[in-house]
Amino acid sequence: MKPIAKRPYLPELEITRAFGIMAVVMIHATSAAYARYDHQSAIYPLYVFLNIFSKFAVPVFIFLSGFVLFYNYYDKSFTAKTIIEFYKKRISKIVIPFLLFSVFYYSFTKVASYGFSDIQTSIGYFTSKLFLKDLIIGKTYTHLYFVVIIIQFYVIAPFMLYAVKRFPSLGKHIVWIGLLIQWLFIFKLAPELSLKNRGSYCFTYMFYFTTGAFIGIYYIKLVHWINITKQNRTPRKVLAWVILWTLFIAASLTEVYVYYYLQLHKKLLLSGNQLEFIDELRCVLASILLIQLSIWIYSKWSASIVKVLIHLGASSFAIYLMHPALLYLYRRMDFNSKPIIYHASVAGGFVLALLLPWLIAAISSRHKWHWLVFGPLPAKKKPVTAKSPSHLNTGA
- Cα–Cα distance measured from residue 311 to residue 15, given in angstroms and rounded to the nearest whole number: 8
What pLDDT, on a 0 to 100 scale, did the predictor assign at position 389?
A: 56
Average pLDDT over residues 96-118: 84
Render pLDDT for 334-357 as a digit per residue (tens, 0 to 9). 887 788 999 999 999 999 999 999
pTM of the model: 0.91
pLDDT grade, residue 58 (50/70/90)?
A: very high
Nearest to 17 by CA among 347, 349, 366, 297: 297
Domain ranges of the chain: 11-392
Could you tell me which residues come within 8 angstroms of residue 307 by beta carbon, excluding any fewer than 6 positions away? none
Rounded distance between C-alpha atoms, residue 245 and residue 20, angstroms: 18
H helical segments located in the chain = 11-36, 44-53, 57-73, 80-90, 96-114, 119-126, 129-137, 145-166, 174-184, 190-192, 206-217, 219-226, 235-265, 272-300, 303-314, 316-330, 339-364, 371-374
CA distance 220 to 390: 10
Neighbours of 284 (CB within 10 A): 21
pLDDT tens column, 289-340:
999 999 999 999 999 999 999 999 999 999 999 999 999 999 988 887 788 9
Residue 118 is predicted with a pLDDT of 66
Q: What is the pLDDT of residue 206?
A: 97
> Average pLDDT for residues 109-120, to the nearest whole number?
73
Task: Round to whole Å and give the CA distance between 203 and 304.
Answer: 39
User: Residue 393 has what pLDDT?
Assistant: 56
Q: What is the DSSP letter of 187?
A: I
Q: Which residue has the higher pLDDT, 261 or 132?
A: 261
Task: Give me the pLDDT at residue 50, please.
Answer: 98
Calculate the average pLDDT of the chain: 89
Mean pLDDT over residues 141-151, rounded? Answer: 93
pLDDT of 61 strictly over 70: yes
Using an 8 Å Cβ cutoff, are 200 and 138 in contact?
yes
Residue 390 has pLDDT above 70, yes or no: no
In which band, very low, low, confident or very high, does the pLDDT at 379 lie, cut at 50, 70 and 90?
low
Structure confidence at residue 395 (pLDDT): 40
pLDDT of 354-375, one tens digit each?
999 999 999 998 888 888 888 8
pLDDT at residue 392 greater than cutoff 80: no
Query: What is the reported pLDDT for 116?
Result: 66
pLDDT at 5: 62
Task: Kindly state the average pLDDT of the residues 65-83.
Answer: 88
- Residue 96 near residue 372 (C-beta atoms within 8 A): yes
At residue 119, the pLDDT reads 72
232-242 pLDDT per residue, tens: 888 889 999 99
| Residue 4 banded pLDDT, cuts 50, 70, 90 | low
d(CA 375, CA 92): 7
pLDDT confidence of residue 394: 44
pLDDT in tens, 156-187: 999 999 999 999 889 999 999 999 999 999 99
Averaged over 222-249, what is the pLDDT? Answer: 91
